Chain A
Amino acid sequence: MALLSLAARSLLNRWGTAVLVVLSLALSVTLLLGVERLREQVRDSFASTVSGVDLIVGARSGPLNLLLYSVFRMGEPTANVSWSSVSDLANHPSVDWVVPLSLGDSHRGFRVLGTSTVYFDRYQYGRGQQLVLAQGSRFDDLFDAVLGANVATRLGYSIGDEIIVAHGAGDVSFVEHGDKPFTVVGILAPTGTPVDNTVHVSLEATEAIHADWMAGAPVPGMRLTSEQVRQRDLTPRSVTAVMVGLKSRVAVFQVQRMVNNYREEALMAIIPGVALHQLWKMMAVAENALALVAWMVLLVALVVMLTALLTALNERRREMAILRALGARSWQIFALIIGESLLLTLLGVVAGVLLLQGVSWVAAPLVSAQLGLALSIWPPSAKEFILIGIVILAGMVAGLWPAWRAYRQSLADGLGTRL
């Protein structure tokens, strides 16, 4: 249509302000969608990190704390679960399987998890997906290690390499178990969960490297070599947490109650889904605050556009008079301004989405490296499309005011040259 190309040419003639308006809209759209995307993606990837586990048992503390350190490798365990409790639990008639988890060591910033080989059979993520070995095999010998996908790629390890485990979870470790190196025997396929950032060893190995330790420090004058340590009884004294699978999900509350009332030790059992729900509730406050800020920024961007449109209106009074003299209808003058606000908003949305894609593209590997959580970049979710729709609508509504003014002006000016 004639008018549409005129509108585009006119806008192009004022490209300087147009670019600034589009930029401010783009940034606000990036923020708005980014906050939403972050919320959704964090929820999705948290929720898909663990599946098929009915209960997680640990020392009595907060349910969130237990969930975070056992599954997401965040934070520190406060106390341990003794091995006799683990055995009791495993022997409970309703319990199908238990996977003990022992945390506390690390390798160059990656957590080391001591567990049993049952872990590889029972741990599931996403929609019931199992862990798959990309190379090699599960640990078999005492000093075998299986690496998560990120650990292998980031540190450049392959099968047969030797690694040294350090005490403590920090990036910079002070005490290394340098006398007892591990051999990489397997590397897992990527999962998009914290498993990717984990070094897996056997429970016995965790016990073994601490055999000559006491109360978190090497015992002076007592050094055991790898060979000597193999001769000892390596049944673990305690573990950090236990994942539990039940024969029937119906028993879940009953077993949970049983664990919570366990006499021998102060234990706690959580249902992963319920604990996640608590996590969402806690995060909701922060999310809402972020979302509020994002909406305010959108409002500011719309005000910027409004300012630009209203300022341009004075310069364009002449343009409107010429168009009216040529026979442009007064509603077309109205449409011209609304169309311009719509075009600016659309450009802002497109630029904002592209910017967000760029940011996600850069951030995804960082998040994966830091948290082991996979962010998916494409396609945008339904909620994002709704937000985009709202932004476009808001842009049009903001355009109503200058459009109405232009319309009134074009009627009131007549053929006069009023500048």
Chain B
Amino acid sequence: MSLLLLQDIVFSWPKQLQPTVQLQRLEVAPQERIFLRGPSGSGKTTLLSLMAGIATPQHGSVSFQNQDIVPWSGSQRDRWRADQLGIVFQLFNLLPYLSVLDNVLLSARFSTARRQRAEQSGGSARQEATRLLSRLGLQEALWSRPATTLSVGQQQRVAVARALLGRPALVLADEPTSALDGDHRDQFIQLLIEEADAAGSALLFVSHDMALAKHFSRAIDLSDINHAQRQGTF
């Protein structure tokens, strides 16, 4: 059974004539580790928006555990996203006016299911959050600091802790390592994969950098599956 299945997708952003994403089939199995690469502007982030239910395709289906989320109402998809997904951006993942710990706890604040799962594994959401932070190498002294006082590498690890809190079914990471140097990059991905394993989450990791593909069980080149791009290039 697939966790997330995209079929016959056609998607174009408002006011754009050409579709940005046009693909026949993309499947994510439970607990799978997928590496997605593609040149800049090929529609990687757009694809993640579709998978997260933030954007909806004009045509095709996005099925989560055999349920098509496309016909759902916006707030149904929002609730589903809060319950089932963890998202890590390239940069600026954290709310600057919250502490590191409060930033991690945001996931539990927006979803009761996430909070309950976090309580199951950690006793309380707070304990689970601190456990994840420690596992990701962030010492206790940092937890109460404002999120913006951390280094970029530390901030990205906080974002991973938040994405994994409450064991989401799928983690989408959109070039989370692009601001890190080589050593940290590998270390970061190793931690990410370890914790995704521990949480039982599937992981879809986006990057330009082919060298990182070795950490993943499957690598996809978006240019191969996105037919929209072929029409777009000259």
**Residues of A that sit less than 8 Å from B by CB:** 2, 6, 9-10, 12-13, 318-319, 321-322, 324-331, 412, 414-417
**Residues of B that sit less than 8 Å from A by CB:** 13-14, 45-46, 48-49, 52, 54-55, 74-75, 78-79, 81-83, 85, 87, 89-98, 106-107, 109-111, 172, 174
Q: Who on chain A is nearest to B78 by CB? A: A329
CB distance from B230 to the nearest CB of A (A): 22
Give 3 nearest A-B pairs by CB, closest first: A327-B82, A414-B49, A13-B97
A-side binding surface: helix, strand, loop or mixed? helix
Q: Is the CB of A327 within 8 A of B81?
A: yes
A133 to B94 CA separation, bound complex (whole angstroms) = 73
Given that A331-B75, A415-B48 are known contacts, is A324 also in contact with B54, CB under 8 Å in the complex? yes
Q: Is the CB of B110 within 8 A of A328?
A: yes
Indicate the member of A9, A318, A325, A328 with the most B CB atoms within 10 Å: A325
Q: Is the CB of B49 within 8 A of A330?
A: no
Given that A326-B107, A329-B74 are known contacts, is A417 also in contact with B83, CB under 8 Å in the complex? no
Q: Who on chain B is nearest to A418 by CB? A: B45
Q: Is the CB of B74 within 8 A of A326?
A: no
Q: Is the CB of B89 within 8 A of A325?
A: yes
Q: Which residues of B contact A326 (CB under 8 A)?
A: 82, 87, 106-107, 110
Q: Which residues of B contact A417 (CB under 8 A)?
A: 45, 89-92, 174
A125 to B55 CA separation, bound complex (whole angstroms) = 73
CB distance from A414 to the nearest CB of B (A): 4
Q: Is the CB of B54 within 8 A of A415?
A: yes
A412 to B85 CA separation, bound complex (whole angstroms) = 20
Q: Which residues of A contact B174 (CB under 8 A)?
A: 415, 417
Indicate the member of B74, B78, B93, B107 with the most A CB atoms within 10 Å: B78
Q: Which residues of A contact B110 (CB under 8 A)?
A: 2, 326-328
Q: Which residues of B contact A9 (CB under 8 A)?
A: 95, 97-98
Q: Is the CB of B109 within 8 A of A2?
A: yes
CB distance from B86 to the nearest CB of A (A): 9
> Could you pull out 19 A-B pairs where Cβ atoms are within 8 angstroms?
A2-B109, A6-B95, A321-B89, A322-B95, A324-B78, A325-B87, A326-B87, A327-B78, A327-B82, A327-B83, A328-B78, A329-B74, A330-B74, A414-B13, A414-B49, A414-B54, A415-B45, A415-B49, A417-B45
Partner of A12, one of B14, B81, B92, B97: B97
Q: Which residues of A contact B93 (CB under 8 A)?
A: 322
Given that A326-B82, A327-B78, A329-B78 are known contacts, is A415 also in contact with B52, CB under 8 Å in the complex? yes
CB distance from A51 to the nearest CB of B (A): 60
Q: Is the CB of A327 within 8 A of B49?
A: no
A294 to B85 CA separation, bound complex (whole angstroms) = 52
A148 to B107 CA separation, bound complex (whole angstroms) = 71
Q: Is the CB of A416 within 8 A of B49?
A: yes
Q: Which residues of B contact A325 (CB under 8 A)?
A: 52, 54, 81, 87, 89
Q: Who on chain B is nearest to A327 by CB? A: B82
Q: Which residues of A contact B109 (CB under 8 A)?
A: 2
Q: Who on chain B is nearest to A415 by CB? A: B49
CB distance from B26 to the nearest CB of A (A): 16
A91 to B74 CA separation, bound complex (whole angstroms) = 89
CB distance from A359 to the nearest CB of B (A): 35
CB distance from A88 to the nearest CB of B (A): 83
A357 to B85 CA separation, bound complex (whole angstroms) = 53
